[in-house]
Amino acid sequence: MPAKLSVNLNAVAMLRNRRDLPWPSVTGLGRIALAAGAHGLTVHPRPDERHTRHADLPEIRALIDDEFPKAEFNIEGYPSEDFLALVEKNQPEQVTLVPDDPAQATSDHGWNFVAQAAFLTPIVKRLKKGGLRVSLFSDADPAGVNAARDTGADRIELYTGPYGSCHSDSAKAAKELERLGKTADAAFAAGLGVNAGHDLTVKNLPALAKRIPALAEVSIGHGLTADALEYGMAGTVGRFLKACGW
């Protein structure tokens, strides 16, 4: 089965937040994405609410529950106590833990699973006890995969930023793709599922899907939202689904 597509709504929320107005509607665009075939919605609520606001989360939860019950809600973020409380209140199907500093513009690296195991393990246990699937943001490094598994996590999400940044250098892209592939191979061998996200596009997705055919999910925001300005949200979701292999 091809990788499922989760549409990250942060870029939509950031555009909305440029004005004190209710448009573009985060839930409205989420509805269009799901109706067009997306398998889920992703948000990354940061402490300053510079894009997704905390108030958006119950609305997205209700949208999925009421209109698209087979879709999944994925909440990403650094696991502060405030974030964990937000997650537990809104009950996503999946939580993706990222090692972000609050001041970061966007996620740009994965966890050091060995060094941060003592921090992550009880958090993963807490979330899984609440019935949530847990994914950990990971660099393309096979050496850390067993330590990720030992935290109790269900999946890793491969940070594909270095691969996505090679849009004009095919040789470098091939090397980055193989690093991602080897990390995924190690994760599968360790019993983990594998997601991927960051700077993925309709151009670089097919090669990723071919190299990692058992990829469970891709979470895409910036590139998808940029394309939606040209092709519309529904048309863009269709293009990305095709790039995933659907």
Catalytic-role residue among 72, 76, 157, 176: 76
- DSSP string spanning 30-49? HHHHHHTT--EEEE---TT-
List 44, 72, 157, 176, catalytic entry: 44
For residue 67, the domain's CATH number is: 3.20.20.70
Domain count for the chain: 1
* Residue 102 confidence (pLDDT) above 80: no
Question: Would residue 198 show up in a list of annotated catalytic residues for this protein?
Answer: yes
- How far apart CA 111 and CA 61 sit, in angstroms, is 27
pLDDT category at 20 given cuts 50, 70, 90 is confident
Q: Tell me, what's the pLDDT at 106?
A: 65
Binding site as annotated, residues: 8, 19, 46, 51, 106, 199, 221-222
Confidence tier at 174 by pLDDT (50, 70, 90): very high
- What is the model's pLDDT at position 109? 80
User: pTM value?
Assistant: 0.96
Q: Is 49 part of the annotated catalytic residue set?
A: no
Report percent pLDDT > 70 for the chain: 97
Q: Is pLDDT at 105 greater than 60 in this prediction?
A: no
Q: What are phi and psi of 46, to 5 degrees?
A: -90, 160
Residue 11 pLDDT > 80: yes
Residue range(s) defining the domain that contains residue 236: 4-244
Annotated active-site residue 76? The verdict is yes
pLDDT digits (tens, 9 = 90+) for 185-207: 999 999 999 999 999 999 999 99
